[in-house]
Amino acid sequence: MNIQFVDLKAQYNMIKKEIDATINNVLSKGIFIMGPEVLSFEQEFSSYIKVDHAIGVASGTDALHLALIACGIKPGDEVITTPFTAPATTEVIKHCGATPKFVDIDAKTYNIDPSKIEKKVSRKTKAIIPVHLYGQSCDMDAIMKIARKYKLKVVEDCAQAVGTEYKGMKVGSLGHVGCFSFFPANNLGAYGDGGMVVTRDEQIAERVRVLRLHGSPEPYRYTVDGFNSRLDALQAAILRVKLRYINEWISHRNEKAIFYDQLLIKLEGISIPYKEEGNRHSYNYYTICVSGNKQWRDKLLIYLKSQGIHAVVFYPNSLHLQEPYSHLKHKKDEFSVSEWYQDRVISLPIYPEITKKQLEQVVDEIRSYIIRQGAKK
């Protein structure tokens, strides 16, 4: 058995004709930097998210970095975020010279717990980065209420959440800025790196446009020190093809998730992902939680791998205890919810093309492990 975590070849094979044609088209035109493909993808992506501006950049990390600079984050500022995320979310705060202020997560959604944010707001706080983890939206009403009260910018980290909806609106359109990643394994993945900043704020959009092009609003005029952070024309062309399928793919992911739910709910010691009523989960990852401890979870991962099933832990180490943040002197158990889940979550294979038989095989192997090990150890 070989069930990959994501199967990018299966997706390519489904849309091979269109992808090959668009790549050939870019090659024959010879425009690889900026140009019509990037512009068209930006327009199409902004209408998909329902925002006024979308600016293609080199990666999701750059999207966050440029968005923070465009929001005026500077040395000495503090930015509130979750410790249960990818390092990209917090490293960019430090690259601005600012400090991440961690807030623990909610036990149901694994996203930042809004009820714990206000205590962390200080005079230095300038922004909040809510991360829509695994494809599930944060509680944006609660977050925006706090942001309005303290005049904070909200930079949504939507790296795992293309197509996720909160109360009928796409994430990325709820805060002041939304940042997307087109990492190949994501819901909407490029064939390399890519990212996008979206916003309704004309000033922020213009700053990001200038920052991504060496600080240049027009050829050979430079207004700030910028970056080389452009989305490649080839990636933009590929993403334009894939964007046409995104709604269909997210529906497939939801169907697969429901099927997993139905099978896994019968297993002792396994919790299926919580899904907030009224929101649309995009299941970038399908993440279960085990009631056993870290050792039990890690042995399950090894067992699944031995059976040819590739599951992954996002994230085994909460960021507040990682080396780059040691100067903040956080202690073990300080963010106990995040630390509890880092030892117990597992993301199972999910992608639009995965078959029901494969999902059954994954669950069968989890069941055999439970029978052999006992539900809790």
Q: Which residue is nearest to ligand PLP (CB)?
A: 60
Residue for token pair 């490293």: 91
**Can you read off the two tokens belonging to residue 140?**
């944006």
Q: Which residue's CB is nearer to ligand PLP, number 160 or number 173? A: 160
Closest separation in Å from C-beta 89 to ligand PLP: 5
**Cα Dmax for the chain:** 68
Closest separation in Å from C-beta 68 to ligand PLP: 12
**Can you read off the two tokens belonging to residue 69?**
């600079």
Q: Which residue's CB is nearer to ligand PLP, number 86 or number 237? A: 86
Q: Which residue's CB is nearer to ligand PLP, number 196 or number 366? A: 196
Backbone phi, psi, residue 124, to 5°? -85, -15
Closest separation in Å from C-beta 117 to ligand PLP: 18
Q: Which residue's CB is nearer to ligand PLP, number 46 or number 160? A: 160
User: Which residues contact ligand PLP by CB under 6 A?
Assistant: 59-61, 85-86, 88-89, 131, 157, 159-160, 181, 183, 193, 195
C-alpha torsion sign, points 56, 59, 61, 62: negative
- Rounded-to-integer distance, Cα 174 and Cα 153, Å: 11
SS3 128: strand
Q: Which residues is 221 bridged to in the sheet? A: 218
Q: Which residue's CB is nearer to ligand PLP, number 77 or number 193? A: 193
Q: Which residue's CB is nearer to ligand PLP, number 57 or number 363? A: 57
Q: Which residue's CB is nearer to ligand PLP, number 162 or number 363? A: 162
- Rounded-to-integer distance, Cα 343 and Cα 195, Å: 30
- Rounded-to-integer distance, Cα 375 and Cα 377, Å: 7
Q: Which residues is 55 bridged to in the sheet? A: 197
Closest separation in Å from C-beta 133 to ligand PLP: 7
- Rounded-to-integer distance, Cα 260 and Cα 360, Å: 8
Helix axes 356-373, 294-306, angle to 10 degrees: 130
Closest separation in Å from C-beta 313 to ligand PLP: 13
- Neighbour order of strands in the sheet with 195-199: 53-57, 195-199, 177-181, 153-157, 125-129, 78-81, 99-102
Q: Which residue's CB is nearer to ligand PLP, number 60 or number 352? A: 60
Closest separation in Å from C-beta 88 to ligand PLP: 4
210 touches 187 (CB < 8 A) = no
Closest separation in Å from C-beta 57 to ligand PLP: 9
Closest separation in Å from C-beta 348 to ligand PLP: 17
Residue for token pair 């870290």: 294
